Amino acid sequence: MLKWLTITLIAVVVFITILLGLGYLLKEHEIATTHLKQQLDQERAAQKSKEKRNKYRLNTIIETSLVKVAAKTNTLTSKPLPSVKQKILLENLTCSSKKQCVLVNISFGELACAFAINTIGASLLAKTAEEVNSVIKCPRYPNNSQLSCQHNLCTYSNINN
C-alpha cells in the first residue's frame, strides 16, 4: 500500500510541476504577445502619421502645380471649368511612372485644350457629359514638349525643364 501511495504522490507532484511549467510559459507568452501588439500599434500609428504628412504634401504640390498651370495659361476660360471636370483634373494628376500619363483634349464648345492627366482621369473625363463653356484660349506648349511624371505628377512641358 505504501508503494502505491508513493507512486501516486510522485505522479501528482510531476503533474503539478508540469501544470506550473505550462502556466509559466503561458504567462511569458502573454507578456511577449502584449509587448508585440503594443509595438505593432505604435508602428501602425507612425505609418498613418507618415501617410497623412505625405497626403498633405501631395495636396500642396498639386495645388501649387495647378496655380503654375493657371499662371502659364493666363486663365483658360472666362468662367471656371465645370466643377465635375475640374474635380477630375485635380484628383487624377498623380502618377508613379510616365506610362500612367496621357494627354487628353478637353473640348469647350469649338475649342479643345490639352491637359496632362493619368489614365484613370482620362477614362473618367471620357465618361462625363459634354458641357459647353466659352474658352478664351488654351495653354500653349512648345513643339518639343513631352509627357513626363515629375514629383509623382503628370506634366506636359518642355523637355529642357
Give residue 66's pLDDT.
64
Is residue 81 domain-shared with residue 103, that is, in the same domain? yes
Give residue 83's pLDDT.
55
Is residue 83 domain-shared with residue 144, that is, in the same domain? yes
Give residue 123's pLDDT.
85
Is residue 80 domain-shared with residue 61, that is, in the same domain? no
The string of pLDDT tens digits covering residues 57-88 is 777 776 676 666 655 554 444 445 445 777 78
Query: What's the domain count of the chain?
Result: 2
Tell me which of 133 and 114 has the higher pLDDT: 114
Give residue 76's pLDDT.
47
The string of pLDDT tens digits covering residues 117-142 is 888 888 887 787 665 555 556 767 77
**Residue 67, all three cell numbers:** 496655380
The domain of 139 spans 75-158
**Residue 121, all three cell numbers:** 482621369
Q: Which of 33, 52, 73 is the last residue of a domain?
A: 73
Dihedral of the CA atoms 113, 119, 120, 123 (nearest 10)? Answer: 60
Q: Is 85 exposed, middle or buried (0-12, 13-18, 19+ CB in 10 A)?
A: buried
